[in-house]
Each structure stands twice: as structure tokens, then as C-alpha cells.
Structure 1
Amino acid sequence: MIRILDLCLRLTIWFLLTADVSPGNIVIGVGVSLLIPWGFTPISPVLKDWLRTFGEILVAIPQAYIEAIEIMLRPHTEEEIVMERVKPQRTPGLIFLDIFLITFTPKTIVVKYHDDGWYEVHRIRRRRAP
């Protein structure tokens, strides 16, 4: 089941990059997705993490619109870089989705992923009243 989710994620990224869903491109995309090396992942808890992450993405979509409107109406002049811990036992696909989720919202972007389990996240915020 996890392999299918990884394959779907890879194909989705392929289609977003090529913007072409012709039969030839689908065949090439499946081939490329299968040629990319697979990592070892434990099966049981990972499915639950995938479903939770997809739920978080669905919540992030309206949040992104709200944040975009908020930035247009009230300027955000303060910025900071914070370190966020990667959730434990994340597969490379889930780490990618976490980075996507953080970067999807307009106020945050992942600047760097550290192999020891941290994200550097750049955030903007409104200036606090003195």
C-alpha cells in the first residue's frame, strides 16, 4: 500500500513538472517513477502518517488563502528563521509532503532540511505593537 502511495506521489510530481497527461507522457512518468530508487520503510505506522498528512494538506488550502488575504490587507514586516523538528519515523515521501505543507502557506517557507531531523523555516509576521 505504501509503495502505491509513493508511486502516486512520484507520478503527481511528474505530471506537475511536465503539465502533460498524454498517453506517452504517462508511460514515461511511470517508467521514471519506477526507476527512482526506493527506500526501506516500515509498513504499519506509515499509512496512518500518510492519511494524517493528506488531511493536513486539505486544511492548509483554505489556510493559504486566508494568509494571502491577510498579507495583502495588513503588511507583515517582521521575519524570522526558526528550527522545526521533523516528526519521528518519517519516510522520505512524508518529509517531502511536510516540506510542501510548510511551504504551501504564504507566511512560511522551508529554507533548508537538515539530515539530523530539523527544518529551517523562514516566517513572516506582523510587527508587534511597542
Structure 2
Amino acid sequence: MDASNYLNLILRLAIWFLLTADFSLSNIIIGVAIAFLLPRGYTSSGKLKDWLRVLWEILRAIPQAYLEAIQMMLRPHNREEIVRQRVKPRRTPGLVFLDIFLITFTPKTIVTKYDRRGWYEVHRVTRSSSK
């Protein structure tokens, strides 16, 4: 088992624990069993460097999310737009999930649609330039 398989397993367990919010021994055993039994995609495996980069971006997004929340409380953001962002090349399903999580984690953006041809549709709120 290489590093990307371990990271996929950790991602699946993290999602399980977020869904159940239960860290009892029986729930941990069930989560591990489900993480191993879920089917795996036959796409190319993600490189460890890509996984670490995304995890680092998630850690950097935490203070950014607080900053954006404060900005939205202090100054109104009443302009909305839908933009399309290209998916980075050679993304595994796990990395695509983490990209969507990263975009949606900050208060000003949310992914509304993922196109399997390589695009995210992102709803974004901004300050209106008039005033």
C-alpha cells in the first residue's frame, strides 16, 4: 500500500467520523471496515506531493475563512456571480473532493456543480463596486 492509498483511507475515515460524530470503539471498527470495503476508482493514483499540497492549502484556508467571515460581517457583500474554474490536471476523485471542500470551506464561495469534463461551477459573493 503506497502513501496515496493511506491518504485515501484517512480521508474516508475522516468523512465517516464527520458523519457519525462517534469515536466509540465499535464505530471506529465499522468505519475502518467501510473504508476498506468502499470501491476504489481505477484512475491514476494521486501523488503524495499533490496530497500534501492540498492538505497545506486546507490548513491555510482556516485563517482565510475567519477573515472572510469578519469581512462579510463588517461590510456587506451583496453582489453574486457564478464563475467556472478549471480542475487541476490529473486529479484523483479524492483530490477532487478535497478541492471542492477547500473552495466551499471559505464563506464567500461554494461549488454548485462539478462537471466531469474538468470544470467546477463556483458561486461567489463579493462587495459591490458602486458606493
TM over 0.5: same fold? yes
- In 1, the alpha carbon distance for the partners of 2:109 and 2:49 equals 25
Give every structure 1 segment of 4 or more consecutive aligned residues whose post-TM-superposition deviation is greater than 6 Å.
Answer: none
| Count of residue pairs the alignment pairs up | 129
Partner of 2:110: 109
Is 1:100 paired with 2:64?
no
Residue-by-residue CA offset, 1:57-110 (whole Å, 9 max, x unaligned):
011000000000000000000000000000000000000000000000000000
Partner of 2:122: 121
Residue-by-residue CA offset, 1:31-60 (whole Å, 9 max, x unaligned):
1111111113445x6111000001100110
- In 1, the alpha carbon distance for the partners of 2:31 and 2:118 equals 30
Which one of the candidate residues 14, 30, 34 is aligned to 2:16?
14
Which one of the candidate residues 25, 31, 34 is aligned to 1:32?
34
Q: Report the 3-state secondary structure (helix = DSSP H, G, I; strand = E; otherwise coil) of the residue aligned with 2:47.
A: helix
TM-score after normalising by structure 2: 0.95
* Percent sequence identity over aligned pairs: 65
- In 2, the alpha carbon distance for the partners of 1:88 and 1:63 equals 25
Structure 1 segments unaligned to the other structure (5+ residues): none
Q: Report the 3-state secondary structure (helix = DSSP H, G, I; strand = E; otherwise coil) of the residue aligned with 1:52.
A: helix
Residue-by-residue CA offset, 1:5-45 (whole Å, 9 max, x unaligned):
000000000001000010000010011111111113445x6
Root-mean-square deviation (Å): 1.1
- In 2, the alpha carbon distance for the partners of 1:41 and 1:77 equals 40
- In 2, the alpha carbon distance for the partners of 1:72 and 1:117 equals 34
- In 1, the alpha carbon distance for the partners of 2:102 and 2:36 equals 25
TM-score after normalising by structure 1: 0.96
Is 1:5 paired with 2:4?
no
Is 1:51 paired with 2:52?
yes
